[in-house]
Structure 1
Amino acid sequence: MSDPLLLVADVGGTNTRVALAEGARVRPDTIRRYANREFANLAPVLRRYREDHPGPDPDGACVAVAGPVADGRAELTNLDWSIDTARLLQATGASRGAILNDLQAQGHALGHLPADLCRPVIDVAGMPGASRLVIGVGTGFNAAPVHDTPIGRFVPPCEAGHANLPIRTEAELRLCNFVSTAHGFPAVEDVLSGRGLEQVYRWLSSEDGSDAEYLAADIMAHIDTDPRAEASVRHFIRILGTVAGNLALIHLPLGGVFLVGGVARAMQPYLSTMGFADAFRDKGRFAGFMSNFPVHLVTDDFAALTGCAAHLCDGQAAR
């Protein structure tokens, strides 16, 4: 019996990537990227893809979106788009469909990614069959626990990026106050995201009596020549370690923590040298317990597409 033909999509704030999959295997030759600004909503993107890739209707369709999902409907956080299961099926011609939060899709991808695309950050042995945790750091911040059960994988949605920013030091309190002044409620996402890294740089500039600022890409590009850029990344990584450690204690992912997203990948060269592991384990009398959690960085930029396909293959889709 051949694997089912599936249509999968990963909807970000700027671009949407669409592909075909055979079972849980995404076909790299079918991946296409569309600029969201050229479309009024997601359904026209999917119809365009079907025009660009004519052929039989897919057996199933699944999209991952950067925003909350409830009752088969998604509202994108950073884009004035929405999608529901009925429109998804109509736009793709599929007989069954599913809509996931993007971090849920990343959770469904675990176990289906090549081993060389999951690089160790804290290299300890995970517990087979135990819960895992995906943490996304990119345009925004979010997390999703991953539970494998006798009736299939369960990846509940979460909005961890909108929880309060933790404070461990006097300097972090000043950063928190700076972010509060600029944006109101100081949430995790206000620091641990692309725009958050820019906030950290602006805060350090203000501490020096300067109004200098950089875009996130420029901060990363100047890390070896600009001490303020280096300090921004160091603060970012230590706060990321603190937040990841907090989430590990909440969810107990003894099977491993998996960092995903463009900003997380950009931080890869510095995670081991700028204090991520120390901050992750800095939990007082539970510091020793924190050594039970392996941490990996997922470098596969198309993992959400794989997760969509794996979700459909697990039979969790509406007809």
Structure 2
Amino acid sequence: MPQDLIALVADLGGTNTRVALTRGATVQTDSIKRYRNADHGDLASVLRAFVAERSVTPDAACVAMAGPVRDGVGELTNLDWIVERDAVAAVTGAKTVAVLNDLQAQGHALDHLTADVVQTVLPGKPARDHAARLVIGVGTGMNAAAVYRLDGRTLVPPSEAGHVSLPAQGTDELRLLDWIARKHGTPGLEDVLSGRGFERIYAWLCDEDGTGTPLDAGAIMQAVDDGTDPRATQAARIFVRMLGRAASNLALIHLPFGGIYLCGGVARHFAPHLEPLGFEDAFTDKGRFADFMPQFPVHIVSDDYAALTGSAAHLMELLS
């Protein structure tokens, strides 16, 4: 039965891969292991190491990866790895194998999240059951995916929303857009709304001021937390403003009355700064639709293993 299913699930990002075993839709937390991608040549090497260490042949396997997937084949956006469903089956011995975009896995996890890992940023209004929802991931990269419930099943269409053209409002943002275009090519959302995007905002401010040394994202965020660097706070304010606007643009496209869920390491680090740095103002700044926007609830997901849970939940639905 699906609830007794032993599955191998993997969350493959640009920097690390986390692998775990699950029973049904429940991740066996004591089985979770993190691998540095730099120490391995491909995903098969990671999975081979995990399977050998655990001496297990799972019934099924699912890989959630940070990149576009088509017909069971995916390519990581920020790492030169190809993931193929047949190769995953060969390494793991699993008879049922799925390959998802990582935001699809986050969407499949929503119905399995506990209240303690969901922090409300904007309360919104109550919605009917099965209202559309939206997950927005901000971490090494950026993406978003709509989540629907149809006939008792979860549908999460794939998306590569992080690579749409970067919108800009006002002269300062236009200068930022031009600076990114000169330094890094055509700017997309991910060129601002990601860890390296945050670094680019700070580097641009250094260039604007004609002084200062660019910092990595961790150092900038630490300065924001400590209140020791006004430029870091300004960079965070720009980041939050553009995140609010991107979320509201996506909300108007998908109408997620069931809620918007921000996930990913960068989103979690920004959680305490969203309110003071103007997320709500940016989210509701929609002209004639300003009064329409407050009905969308916005949440932060703090469960770092949600993509693993979502992968298991997807397999459960496939086999039920």
Q: TM-score, normalised by structure 2?
A: 0.96
Structure 2 residues without counterparts, runs of 5 or longer: none
Q: Distance in 2 between matches of 1:183 and 1:44?
A: 32
SS of the residue corresponding to residue 125 of structure 1 reads coil
> Residue 272 of structure 1 aligns with which residue?
275
Aligned equivalent of 1:129: 130
| Aligned ranges 1:1-319 → 2 under 5 Å | 3-55=4-56, 57-127=57-127, 128-150=129-151, 152-223=153-224, 224-315=227-318
- Alpha-carbon distance in structure 2 between the residues aligned to 1:288 and 1:3: 47
Counterpart secondary structure, 1:97: strand
Q: Which has the higher helix share?
A: 2
On the 8 A contact 1:126/1:256 being kept in 2, the answer is no
For the residues of structure 1 that align with 2:278 and 2:231, how far apart are their CA atoms? Answer: 17
Which stretch of the first structure deviates more once superposed, 82-91 or 61-70? Answer: 82-91
* 164-173 or 286-295: bigger deviation: 164-173
Cα displacement (A) at 1:212: 1.7
Q: Deviations over 1:159-178 (max 9, x none)?
A: 11111111122211111111
DSSP-derived class of the 2:318 partner: coil
Determine if contact 1:179/1:186 at 8 Å carries over to the other structure: yes
Q: How big is each residue's C-alpha offset from its partner over 1:13-48, in whole Å with a ceiling of 9 and x where there is no partner?
A: 111100000100001000001111222111121111
Distance between the aligned counterparts of 2:48 and 2:195, measured in 1? Answer: 31
Residue 165 of structure 1: SS of its match in structure 2?
A: coil
1:216-264 residue CA offsets vs partner (Å, 9 max, x unmatched): 0000011110000000001100000001000000010000000000100
After TM superposition, the score normalised by the length of structure 1 is 0.97
1:129-184 Cα shifts (integer Å, max 9, x gaps): 10000001011110000011015111011111111111122211111111111112
Contact 1:103 1:144 in 2 (8 A): yes
Query: What is the rounded CA distance, in whole Å, between the counterparts of 1:316 and 1:152 in structure 2?
Result: 12
Percent same amino acid at aligned positions?
A: 55
Q: How many residues align?
A: 316
Of 173-182 and 204-213, deviating more is: 204-213
Distance 1:307-1:115 versus aligned 2 partners, 3 A rule: same
CA distance in 2, matches of 1:299, 1:243: 20
Is the 8 Å Cα contact of residues 98 and 316 (structure 1) preserved in structure 2?
Answer: no
Q: CA RMSD in A?
A: 1.3
Describe the SS at the equivalent of 2:166.
Answer: coil
